[in-house]
């Protein structure tokens, strides 16, 4: 928390800025850094850039001022200006300047250039002192969707014991994207050891488990997220989806209803409620909620598909076997796995020869055993 003295300094700086006379204040580097970091914390980009520019005019030789200025410019998408600032440095061969060149290359999607700059300095003694800049370089790679390079820089930080625990969630995310389930799980766990009350990361861990069909673990993680933040709508949605996958339609219905309370204008909430009712054989309620989803968004594909399923179920219940099979074929063209869901809801279909032939055909397509 900033103290009274800082806000007196800030007030003097802002008054001088309005009068175009910042130089007369004779602010120190530390004064400027404190002001710059404050504007960064409150996400005031215009004031941040202006403070960086004023600081750089007086302290262009300062590595810290240069780094803050370049970082602000890159975050604002001003790559060419960032390049110009770096080229003004009186120490062009310094470690900091090389790292800033690497960041600029990354923001231009020149990952080879970034790697060349980094490779030239990564063996230098003391480079771990620049861990914040290396972490920013890794973050740039994530923004550019180059997760392999991001992991390279994170590995460097860990090798030098310079990796803050707050970075573990980004490392986990990169491993998740790369398909490294074990490492993704490990780093999400490491992050949650340090920050156990972050509902968003419990949500990410639950999503990781759900993606790998570890549904019970997914439920535990989502329940943590919801316990920490009952308004975490996506956690409510995802735990409901997991229960659908487990054919626990009553549990799914409860969470979809909570999701609908959190996001009453989200068609997926009502499509989910409808799917749950369909699993519970409440066909009328299912139809009503699919219709509600389509009222909210007439292009909701989940609700459109759900209505097709309702028609198929109704034809089955009415003994219209030919119509049922015809509708089922249309459904299978969209989702070949749906007959297995239907068979779980209506086990008597196992006695239907035509239906079972369709079921077996999807098993061959998916190469799965049910």
As a whole number of angstroms, the distance between CA 206 and CA 218 comes to: 4
Least confident among 61-75, 141-155, 233-247, 341-355: 341-355
Tokens at 277, concatenated: 């009712």
Residue 277: CB atoms within 10 Å = 24
Q: What is the pLDDT of residues 96-122, one digit of tens each?
A: 999 999 999 999 999 999 999 999 998
As a whole number of angstroms, the distance between CA 106 and CA 228 comes to: 36
Q: Is 91 helix (H, G, I), strand (E, B) or coil?
A: coil
Contacts of 217 (CB under 8 A, 6+ apart): 206, 209
Confidence of residue 362 (pLDDT cuts 50, 70, 90): low
Residue 353: CB atoms within 10 Å = 6
What percent of the chain lies above the pLDDT cut of 70?
97
As a whole number of angstroms, the distance between CA 327 and CA 331 comes to: 6
Residue 336: CB atoms within 10 Å = 15
Contacts of 301 (CB under 8 A, 6+ apart): none
Contacts of 153 (CB under 8 A, 6+ apart): 118, 134, 135, 137, 138, 141
**Helix (H), strand (E) counts: the chain:** 21, 0
Neighbouring C-alpha atoms within 13 Å toward the C-beta of 126: 3
For the four alpha carbons of 107, 109, 115 and 116, in that order, the dihedral sign comes to negative
Least confident among 32-36, 224-228, 281-285, 328-332: 328-332
As a whole number of angstroms, the distance between CA 313 and CA 336 comes to: 16
For the four alpha carbons of 329, 331, 336 and 341, in that order, the dihedral sign comes to negative
Contacts of 231 (CB under 8 A, 6+ apart): 262
As a whole number of angstroms, the distance between CA 20 and CA 347 comes to: 79
Go through 180-211 and write b for each residue having 16 or more CB atoms within 10 A of its CB, e for each that does not: eeebbbebbebbbeeeeebbebbbbbbbbbbe
Q: Is the pLDDT of residue 322 over 80?
A: yes
- Any idea of the CA torsion for 183, 189, 195, 198, to the nearest 10 degrees? 90
As a whole number of angstroms, the distance between CA 85 and CA 68 comes to: 11
User: What is the per-residue pLDDT for 367?
Assistant: 37
Phi, psi of 363 (to 5 degrees): -65, -40
User: What is the per-residue pLDDT for 91?
Assistant: 81
């Amino acid at each position: 928390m900033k103290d009274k003295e800082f806000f007196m300094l800030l007030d003097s700086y802002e008054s001088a800025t309005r009068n175009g006379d910042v130089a007369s204040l004779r602010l120190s580097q530390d004064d400027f850094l404190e002001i710059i970091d404050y504007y960064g914390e409150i996400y005031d980009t215009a004031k941040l850039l202006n403070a960086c520019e004023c600081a750089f005019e007086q302290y262009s030789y300062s590595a810290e001022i240069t780094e803050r200025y370049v970082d602000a410019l890159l975050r604002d998408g001003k790559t060419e200006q960032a390049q110009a600032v770096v080229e003004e440095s009186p120490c062009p061969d310094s470690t900091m300047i090389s790292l800033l060149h690497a960041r600029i290359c990354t923001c231009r999607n020149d990952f080879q250039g970034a790697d060349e700059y980094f490779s030239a300095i990564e063996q230098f003694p003391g480079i771990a002192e620049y861990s914040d800049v290396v972490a920013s370089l890794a973050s740039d790679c994530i923004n550019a969707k180059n997760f392999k390079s991001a992991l390279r820089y994170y590995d460097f930080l860990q090798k030098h014991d310079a990796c803050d625990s707050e970075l573990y969630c980004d490392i986990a995310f990169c491993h998740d994207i790369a398909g490294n389930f074990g490492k993704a799980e490990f780093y999400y766990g490491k992050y949650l050891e340090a920050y156990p009350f972050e509902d968003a990361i419990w949500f990410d861990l639950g999503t990781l488990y759900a993606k790998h069909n570890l549904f019970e673990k997914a439920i535990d993680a989502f329940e943590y997220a919801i316990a920490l933040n009952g308004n975490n709508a996506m956690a409510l949605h995802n735990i409901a989806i997991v229960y659908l996958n487990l054919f626990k339609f009553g549990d799914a219905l409860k969470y979809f209803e909570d999701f609908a309370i959190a996001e009453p204008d989200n068609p997926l909430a009502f499509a989910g409620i409808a799917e749950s009712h369909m699993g519970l054989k409440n066909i009328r309620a299912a139809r009503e909620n699919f219709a509600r989803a389509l009222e909210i968004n007439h292009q909701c594909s989940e609700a459109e598909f759900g209505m097709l399923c309702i028609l198929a179920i109704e034809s089955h219940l009415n003994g219209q076997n030919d119509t049922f099979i015809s509708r089922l074929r249309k459904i299978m063209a969209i989702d070949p796995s749906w007959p297995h869901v239907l068979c779980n809801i209506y086990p008597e279909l196992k006695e239907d020869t035509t239906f079972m032939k369709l079921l077996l055909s999807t098993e061959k397509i998916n190469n799965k055993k049910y």
